[in-house]
Amino acid sequence: MLDFLPQYVAMQMSTEKTASKLKNWQPDPNITPEQLEEMRVEVYDRIVVARVGLLLRHPFFGNMATRLRILAADEWLGTAAVDGRNLYYNTQFFNAMDNKEIEFVIAHEILHCVFDHLGRRGSRNPMLYNIAADYKVNNTLVRDNIGTKPKIVDCYQDFKYEKHTSEEIYDELFDEAKKNGEEFLEQLGEMLDEHLDMDGDGEGDSDGGEDKDSNGHNVSKSKPKYSKDEIKKIKDEVKEAMINAAQSAGAGNTPAEVARMISELTEPKMNWREILRQQIQSTIKSDYTFMRPNRKGQMSGAILPGMNFQDTIDLCICLDMSGSIGNVQATDFLSEVKGIMDEYQDYKITLWCFDTKVYNEQEFNGDGADDLLDYEIMGGGGTDFDVNWTYMKEHNIQPKKFIMFTDGMPWDSWGDPDYCETVFIIHSHYDKGLQAPFGITAHYDEQAA
């Protein structure tokens, strides 16, 4: 797998260069500002009409659409884009579609927000992940008859991906792109919209230099940038809006994928940290002692020994540092390891990182918690869960409990189910119902803190 890294870098550069080739429709560069403003008056009204149409026929999408501000973005945008608060549009692009096609495009943008496609890409190839996200969204819209797929764009849509997540679609596209390169990408279709880069590297210029034209319509002069705080607020707003829109739409009027997401967000579930705590407690040695009598025995007049717990834990912890893991996830992983150390007076924790091999194994005990601050995160290649079990067997490591912090996307096998008791803590996976085929699975939730 590591031998493929140079090819991956080359492919990433190649696919980014071919991004412009993946669009057949282009706005007329010779249109005058006066003509554009005149066209914008009608286009804006048609967008409003399309939102009303969604409210009447597809109330979930209609409710979500009415909360988005409508901004013309002709100076930097060739089609459409969304950030969770604003719907950006190219006037000529929307003018070239009928109202039902505009409904499709608006719903397309809404699903990108609902599925958090703008925040789930991580370190994946941007072009390939955007294509995968479009497949997921367009399949849902075509299946549920939301508007009409635009004729001016050969959208990415194929029901062979119907049961796939965007990450799973990406993996298949990645394999195909390795084999066939640019020719493969050019044959697939073209992007319906532009996916904004919401990686949190901006300084908060999220209005894109907003202005108004002579007719009073909002206009975005430049591509917006977002700070990490803004992105978190937008995600929270989308989640709340999604739940409210589904409630307003009523039963049966929300896409099945969205309904499952809402169920996961609203149904009570055990805090993943509590699950981890219970699993760790099960490794603590115990014995009987008369120094701590059993209170139940006192009722019968007999003195029975009670349990003597030694507050000592013995764990192996591995951190998934494959290429799909971002810096935020890596920081979260280490902070949780530090939290385990802080909770117990004495411990033996063996820690390492992995991608397609194991890196930087270190042992920590009760006197060395501060050493974790100097621990070096290593990895960044593919993902092979099996290397952890191979490593433990080769080094005669037999943990009482093996804990893996991961994004839950193994290349193939999840590991050896018979070697040791395993706990998978899964971070940032779209499918919150995902369960490992063995051991205990818990999904990391930032809100659980």
Tokens of 278: 């219970």
CATH class given for the domain over 272-448: alpha beta
Per-residue pLDDT reduced to its tens digit, 16-39: 443 444 456 889 999 999 999 999
What is the percentage of the chain residues whose pLDDT exceeds 70?
80
Distance CA 68, CA 442 (A): 34
The ranges of the chain annotated as CATH 3.40.50.410 are: 272-448
- What crossing angle do the helices spanning 99-114 and 59-66 adopt, rounded to 10°? 80
Give the mean pLDDT of the chain.
82
H or E stretch including 363?
strand 358-365
Query: What's the Cα-to-Cα distance from 352 to each of 318, 355, 359, rounded to whole Å?
Result: 5, 11, 6
408 half-sphere exposure, CB direction, 13 A CA radius? 24
Torsion of CA 163, 99, 80, 218, to 10 degrees: -140
Question: Does residue 328 surpass a pLDDT of 70?
Answer: yes
Give 227-284 pLDDT, tens digit per residue.
888 988 998 899 999 999 999 998 889 998 898 888 766 665 556 677 777 777 766 5
Mean pLDDT of 80-90: 96
Q: Mapping DSSP to helix (H, G, I), strand (E, B) and coil, where does residue 398 land?
A: coil
Alpha-carbon distance of 128 to 15, in angstroms, equals: 8
Rounded Cα distance, 273 and 397, in Å: 25
pLDDT digits (tens, 9 = 90+) for 286-308: 444 444 454 444 444 555 444 44
CA distances from 165 to 90, 171, 321 (A): 29, 10, 21
pLDDT at 208: 63
Higher pLDDT, 190 or 44: 44
User: Which residues, 6+ apart, have CB-to-CB distance to 262 below 8 Å?
Assistant: 242, 243, 246, 254
**Token pair belonging to 250:** 């009523």
Instruction: Please write the tens of the pLDDT for every residue from 410-434.
Output: 888 999 999 998 989 888 777 777 8
For residue 12, the one-letter residue type is: Q
Percent of the chain with pLDDT over 90: 45
In terms of residues, how long is the chain? 449
Q: Residues 102-136: pLDDT tens digits?
A: 999 999 999 999 999 988 887 788 889 999 999 99
369 versus 149: the higher-pLDDT residue is 149
Label residue 207 by pLDDT band (50, 70, 90): low
pLDDT tens digits along 136-191: 999 999 999 999 999 999 999 999 998 898 999 999 999 888 888 767 777 888 89
Q: Enter the tokens of residue 270.
A: 């055990």
Residue 288 in 3-state DSSP?
A: strand
Residues 324 and 122 sit within 8 Å (Cβ to Cβ): yes
pTM (2 d.p.): 0.61
Q: Which of 20, 257, 46, 217 lies closest to 133 in space, CA to CA?
A: 257
Taking only Cα atoms into account, the Rg of the chain, rounded to an integer number of angstroms, comes to: 26
Contact 166, 129 (CB under 8 A): yes
Tell me how far CA of residue 60 lies from CA of 68, 242, 367, in angstroms: 13, 8, 55
Pairing of strands 312-320, 402-406: parallel
Beta bridge partners of 227: 201
